[in-house]
Amino acid sequence: MVKLEYLKKEYEKTRQMPGKWPLSSYRYKFNITHFQPFLKALKEKRLIGLKCRSCNTVSFPPKLVCGKCLVQPDQWVALRDTGMVATFTANYMKDETTGELQSFPVIAIQQDGADTTFLTQLNPAVKFEDVYVGMPVKVKWKNQPEGNLGDIEYYDVIDDATKKMKLQNE
């Protein structure tokens, strides 16, 4: 097991900007009413994404502005509750009883039917060593959804049919 050592650096203040920041004068503001269909669908244990009318990119979770062409998406589309691990990394947490660092995966999922990824949790029973890019996963919903992304408790691993496929040379 690799032992990690963290060095704490002193924060050096570099700049200050005097003045006031009147947020009411900004042109673009976050408006939660735009996401009401998304939040309602989560409460019903359904997934939907926003499709951009310009480039057809589907984002999940939805975005106010398309990251590809900077147009406001305006069409809600249904998504499946399955996806794949697009990338992952290890986070480390110290075990309170033994004091050892334990690794657990943090994954970025690409939902089936969407073009974007988002960070989420994998089933805690899955070991970090078993995670791979392309791993098929499925949503595990909370028992009592509230209408937010927290309604997705975690993603569970599903059977990977590609592991059973034979190579052409065999």
- How do residues 38-96 score in pLDDT, each as one tens digit? 999 999 999 999 999 989 999 998 888 888 888 888 899 999 999 999 999 888 888 88
pLDDT confidence bin for 169, thresholds 50/70/90: low
Take residue 64 and report the two structure tokens written for it. Answer: 């106010």
pLDDT score recorded for residue 81: 92
Residue 38 parent element (H or E): helix 36-43
pLDDT band with cut points at 50, 70 and 90 for residue 31: low
| Interval 17-25 mean pLDDT | 72
Burial of 123 (0-12, 13-18, 19+ CB in 10 A): middle
CB atoms within 10 A of CB 77: 15
In DSSP notation, 130-162 reads G--TT-EEEEEE-SS--SSGGGEEEEEE---GG
pLDDT for the residue 47: 94
Is residue 143 very low, low, confident or very high in pLDDT (cuts 50, 70, 90)? very high
Within 8 A by CB and 6+ apart from 140, the residues are 123, 152, 153, 154, 155, 156
Rounded to the nearest 10°, the torsion over CA 156, 73, 115, 67 is: -110
